A and B are shown apart, each in its own frame.
Chain A
Amino acid sequence: MSRFRPVVGASEAITLLFIFISSKVFLTYTVFYYHKGLNASWVIPLITTIAGVVVALLLVALLNRYPGLDLVEIGEELAGPYLNLLFAFFYLALLLLGAGMALRGTSEGVVSGFLTDTPISLVIAFFITGTMVVSYLGLEAVARTARFFVSVLVVTALVLVALTIPLWHWDAFFPLLGPGPLKLLLGSLNFTGDFVQIILLGLICHFLPAGRIRAIGVGGTLIAGFFLFLFTTVPILVYDYPPVTELMLPSFELARIINMGRFGQRMEVLFVPLWVFGNMIFLSISYYAAAVVLTRICKLRDYRPFVLAATVLTAVIAFIPQNVIQAAYWSQLYLGRYSLGMLVAIILLLLLISIFRGKGGGLDEKSN
C-alpha cells in the first residue's frame, strides 16, 4: 500500500473525485441554491468552487507532510486516538449520511419519474446490490468503473444541456445581482458543503501517484465545480426564476422538456444512464470510503468486511427521513451548510498541531 506504487491513475482519481462531488446535481440539492441566490444562483457554485479548491489545497498540504498516511492515520498521530476517534466518526457520518440521502433521493426519483408502481424498497435494494459489489471489489474496481462510465456521463450530460439550448431565456439572468451582492455571498456559505466530498482525497491518498495529489485535488474540484455551475445555470435559463424553485429534480425536468418535433419527444429515457450511473458510482465510492474509515477505526487491514456494514448503515439512514422532502432538506442542512466548515476546522487543527510539533517528513510535489 505504498503511495509510491500507484494503483489508481491520476485521470481515474480525478474522475472519482469529480463524480463524487458533482453527482448531487442529479438530485434535488441544487434547488436550494435558487432559494438563496434567486435568479443569480449561478454565482453560488462559482463561489463554492473557490472554497472547494482552498480546502483541497489545505488537505493536500496536510497529506504531503505525512507521506504514506491517510487522513485518519494522520489524525491518530497528531491528535491522539481519542480525539481522532471523534474526527473519524465525523468522516464516517459525512460519508454515510451523504450516501443515505443520495440513495433515498435517487430511489425516490426513480419511483416518481419512471417506476411509479414499484415499491421503493425494491428500487433501493437494486441500487444497493449493484453498488455494494463494486465497492467490495475495491478502489481499483470503483475507479475503473468510474473511468469507464465517465465518458458516457459527460457526453450525456453535455448532450442534455445542448438539447435545451433552444429553450434558453437569456433575460432570466436579470436583474443581474439577484438578491444583492451581500445576500448572494452570505447565501453561498450555506452551500460550501458541496465540496466536503473532497475528503475522499484524504482517504485514498495511498493509492494515488506520488506528487500528483495536488493536481488531482484541484483538477477534480474544478471539473466538479464546472458541472455544478452548468446544472445550476441551465435550469435557470430554461425554467426562469421563480418557477425554477419549484422543481424537484431539475436535471430530470430538463430532459422532460426536450421536444424536437413529433418524434423527438419523451427523451428522458435516453438520459437514465446519467442519473443511474452517476449516483451508483457515488454510492460505490461512499461505501468504499466508509469501509476504509471503519477499518482505520478498528485498526484492521482488510476493508472488505466493512463494506456490507457500510451498505446496511446507508440503507438504514436512507429510510430515516419520512419523505423525500425531508431527505432533501436534511441533506442540504447537515451536509451542505455545516460540513465543510467542520472539515476545515479539523484540517486546520491537524496542520497547526503538525507545525507546532514540527513533525512530518514533507513531500515536495514539485520535486516529483
Chain B
Amino acid sequence: MKKVISLLLIGFLLLLVPGCYDYNDPDEIAWVLAVGLDKGKQNKLTVTAVVAVPKNIAGGGGGQPASGGGGGGGFFTVSMESPTFLSALELLDSVVDRRADLSHIKWFVFSRALAEEGIAKYIDVMARFHQFRRTSHIIVCEGRTEDFLSKGVPKLEDNVGKYYELLQRGWRYTEFIPFDTFESFYLKSKMPGVAPLGILASLNRKEPVYTGNSQKEKGNYQAGKIPRKGGGELEFMGAAIFKGGKMIATLNGNQVGVQKIFDGTMKRTFINAPDPKHPNDFIIVEAKPRQNPQVDVQIIDGYPHIAVDIKMEGEVVSIQSGENYTTPDRLYIIENAVEKILYKEISDTLAKSREIEADFLGFGLHAKKLFLTWPEWVAYNWDEKYPEATFDIKVDYKVRRTGLLHEMAPLQ
C-alpha cells in the first residue's frame, strides 16, 4: 500500500517537471514604473506607461536615449489610447516584446484636467487589481502626463525607479511635498471627516513665472510656478485636494507644510521670519515639531470649535541683520517672530480649508471622538458643518540651538 501511495505521490510531483504556470523570468518582463492618465485624444483615455530598460540601468546608460517614445536610456514611454486603464495594459503587450508587469509601479500620475473631472472610477482598480500596490503615490501634474513622464529624465540616477522614489522622498527634507501614499489617499477618500490629497507636480516651466523682483515667500510657490533655471525637468511642490473623487483645489508649499504638521508627517523646515527690528531682513530658523499637535474639538451650538496648539522647536540658522539676538534675554524676540509667521501660515491654511469646504487637515478624525456611535457621527455630517467651524490657534516655538555661532559681533 505504501509503495502505491509513494508511486502516486511521485507521479503527482512529475507534474512539476514542465515548470509551473506562473513561471516568469525577470528578464522576460517589461517592468512598468509609472502610469499616467490623460483625457484621451482618440479614445476616452490616453494611458502612458513608463517602462524600465534594465540593460541600460545596469550598464549605466542613463544619458543615452532609448528607442521608443521619449525617455532617457533607463526607460521609454508608451502612450496608448484606450477606453479604460487596464485595457491599455493589454495594448502595451501588443507593442512591447516583454510581458508588462505593474507590480513595481511607483507613481500613478493624473493630468490636472482629468483629476478635476474626477478620478474615482480609476482608483478602484488600483485597490483591487493584484499587481498594483497601495504603497505607490498619487500625483497630479499640470499639463499632460504623457509629456510629464516622457520628459522626466533623471539627471543623477541611471535607475529611473530610484529617481521616482527619491524625488517623492523629498517629503522628508522639505515641507513642500506632501506625504500621502495611494493607501492614505484611498482611505481618506472613503472616510468621513478628512479629505485626501495628492502630490502636485509639473514640468519645468521655461518662460518666467513672475514679472518683477518683489519679495515673495518661498512657500507661496507650487509646482509649475517655481521660478528657476536648470535642474531636472520635473518639479514637486504643493498638493491637489480632492473631494468626492474630484480635484477641487491646490495647496501651495506653505499650506502643505501646515497640513503635514497636523498629519504628523512634518520632519523639518526652514522658516524666514521678518526681523522685527530690521524690516528688510530675515531671521532664518530651522523648525521641527516638538510634539504632536494638540487638537481639541468641541461642538458649540451645533458647530465645531477647534482649538489647536502647535509646539515646535529648532535652531537659528541665520540673522541677516547681524543683530545679536542670541543672548538668553533676547531669544524671545526670535521666538516671537517665528511664532508670528507660523501663526499666519496656519491661519491662512485653516481659512483655505474652510473656503474650499474640505477638511484636508483631518480635524474630523478628532471630532469623531465626541460621538459614541458611528450612526451618530455620520448623522452629524461633518463635511457640512466644517466650513462654519471656529478656530483658536496657539503656536509655541522654542529656540534650542544657535548653530555654530555663540553671539554675533556687529560688522565694522
Q: Which residues of A contact B (CB under 8 A)?
A: 38-40, 112-119, 122, 125, 129, 133, 169, 171, 174-180, 239-243, 246, 256-257, 259, 262, 265-266
Q: In the complex the two chains form, what is the Cα distance from A125 to B9 in whole Å?
A: 11
Instruction: Give the chain B neighbours of A178 by CB distance below 8 A.
Output: 373-374
Instruction: Give a binary string over B109-147; 1 marks a CB under 8 Å from any A CB, 0 the rest.
Output: 000000000000000000100100111000000000000
- Does B400 sit at the interface, judged by CB under 8 A? no
Q: Are B20 and A118 in contact (CB under 8 A)?
A: yes
Other-chain contact of A115, B20, B181, B186 (Cβ < 8 Å): B20
Q: Are B183 and A112 in contact (CB under 8 A)?
A: no
Q: Are A115 and B371 in contact (CB under 8 A)?
A: no
Asked, given contacts A119-B21, A257-B183, A259-B135, whether A175 binds B376 with beta carbons under 8 Å apart, the answer is yes
Q: Are A116 and B135 in contact (CB under 8 A)?
A: no
Instruction: Give the chain B neighbours of A119 by CB distance below 8 A.
Output: 21
Q: Which of B5, B9, B181, B183 has the most C-beta atoms of chain A within 10 angstroms of its own C-beta? A: B183
Q: 3 closest A-B pairs (Cβ-Cβ)?
A: A118-B21, A175-B371, A259-B135
Q: In the complex the two chains form, what is the Cα distance from A241 to B377 in whole Å?
A: 13
Q: Are B135 and A117 in contact (CB under 8 A)?
A: no
Q: In the complex the two chains form, what is the Cα distance from A117 to B5 in whole Å?
A: 29
Q: Which residues of B contact A (CB under 8 A)?
A: 5, 9, 12, 15, 20-22, 103, 127, 130, 133-135, 162, 165, 181, 183, 186-187, 190-191, 365-366, 368-369, 371-377
Asked, given contacts A239-B187, A256-B134, A262-B165, whether A125 binds B371 with beta carbons under 8 Å apart, the answer is no
Q: Are A266 and B165 in contact (CB under 8 A)?
A: no
Q: Are A171 and B369 in contact (CB under 8 A)?
A: yes
Q: In the complex the two chains form, what is the Cα distance from A243 to B124 in whole Å?
A: 12
Q: Are B22 and A246 in contact (CB under 8 A)?
A: no
- List 18 A-B pairs, Cβ < 8 Å: A38-B374, A114-B22, A129-B9, A169-B365, A175-B372, A177-B373, A178-B373, A180-B372, A180-B375, A239-B187, A240-B191, A242-B190, A242-B191, A243-B186, A243-B190, A243-B191, A256-B134, A262-B162
Shortest CB distance A265–B (Å): 6
Shortest CB distance B383–A (Å): 15
Q: Are B374 and A175 in contact (CB under 8 A)?
A: yes
Q: In the complex the two chains form, what is the Cα distance from A113 to B131 in whole Å?
A: 9
Instruction: Give the chain B neighbours of A175 by CB distance below 8 A.
Output: 368-369, 371-374, 376-377
Q: In the complex the two chains form, what is the Cα distance from A294 to B5 in whole Å?
A: 22
Q: Are B21 and A246 in contact (CB under 8 A)?
A: no
Shortest CB distance B21–A (Å): 4
Q: Are B376 and A129 in contact (CB under 8 A)?
A: no
Instruction: Give the chain A neighbours of B21 by CB distance below 8 A.
Output: 115, 117-119, 122
Q: Are A113 and B374 in contact (CB under 8 A)?
A: no
Shortest CB distance A219–B (Å): 35
Closest-by-CB residue of A relative to B377 is: A175
Q: Which of B135, B187, B375 has the most C-beta atoms of chain A within 10 angstroms of its own C-beta? A: B187
Asked, given contacts A115-B21, A256-B134, whether A240 binds B368 with beta carbons under 8 Å apart, the answer is no
Asked, given contacts A117-B21, A117-B22, A242-B190, whether A266 binds B373 with beta carbons under 8 Å apart, the answer is no
Q: Are A256 and B371 in contact (CB under 8 A)?
A: no
Shortest CB distance B11–A (Å): 11
Instruction: Give the chain B neighbours of A179 by CB distance below 8 A.
Output: 373-375
Instruction: Give the chain B neighbours of A122 by CB distance below 8 A.
Output: 15, 21
Closest-by-CB residue of B relative to A136 is: B5
Instruction: Give the chain B neighbours of A246 by CB distance below 8 A.
Output: 127, 190
Q: Are A174 and B162 in contact (CB under 8 A)?
A: no
Instruction: Give the chain B neighbours of A112 by CB distance below 8 A.
Output: 130
Other-chain contact of A174, B181, B190, B368 (Cβ < 8 Å): B368
Q: In the complex the two chains form, what is the Cα distance from A257 to B191 in whole Å?
A: 19
Shortest CB distance B398–A (Å): 27
Closest-by-CB residue of A relative to B372 is: A177
Q: In the complex the two chains form, what is the Cα distance from A23 to B39 in whole Å?
A: 46
Closest-by-CB residue of B relative to A175 is: B371
Q: Are B187 and A176 in contact (CB under 8 A)?
A: no
Closest-by-CB residue of B relative to A38 is: B374
Q: Are B368 and A171 in contact (CB under 8 A)?
A: yes
Instruction: Give the chain B neighbours of A129 by CB distance below 8 A.
Output: 9, 12
Shortest CB distance A103–B (Å): 17
Shortest CB distance B2–A (Å): 10
Shortest CB distance B54–A (Å): 17
Instruction: Give the chain B neighbours of A125 by CB distance below 8 A.
Output: 12
Shortest CB distance A280–B (Å): 16
Instruction: Give the chain B neighbours of A114 by CB distance below 8 A.
Output: 22
Instruction: Give the chain B neighbours of A39 by CB distance below 8 A.
Output: 374
Shortest CB distance A154–B (Å): 26
Asked, given contacts A125-B12, A171-B369, A174-B368, whether A116 binds B22 with beta carbons under 8 Å apart, the answer is yes
Shortest CB distance A162–B (Å): 18
Q: Besides A114-B22, A115-B22, A262-B165, 20 other CB < 8 A contacts?
A: A40-B374, A115-B20, A115-B21, A116-B130, A117-B21, A117-B22, A119-B21, A175-B372, A175-B376, A175-B377, A177-B372, A178-B373, A178-B374, A239-B187, A240-B191, A243-B191, A246-B190, A256-B133, A265-B133, A266-B133
Other-chain contact of B135, A113, A133, A171, A257 (Cβ < 8 Å): A257
Q: In the complex the two chains form, what is the Cα distance from A38 to B368 in whole Å?
A: 14
Instruction: Give the chain A neighbours of B377 by CB distance below 8 A.
Output: 175
Q: In the complex the two chains form, what is the Cα distance from A40 to B9 in whole Å?
A: 47
Q: In the complex the two chains form, what is the Cα distance from A176 to B374 in whole Å?
A: 8
Q: Are A241 and B374 in contact (CB under 8 A)?
A: yes
Shortest CB distance A207–B (Å): 23
Q: In the complex the two chains form, what is the Cα distance from A266 to B22 in whole Å?
A: 17
Q: In the complex the two chains form, what is the Cα distance from A242 to B366 in whole Å?
A: 17
Asked, given contacts A39-B374, A257-B134, A257-B183, whether A171 binds B22 with beta carbons under 8 Å apart, the answer is no
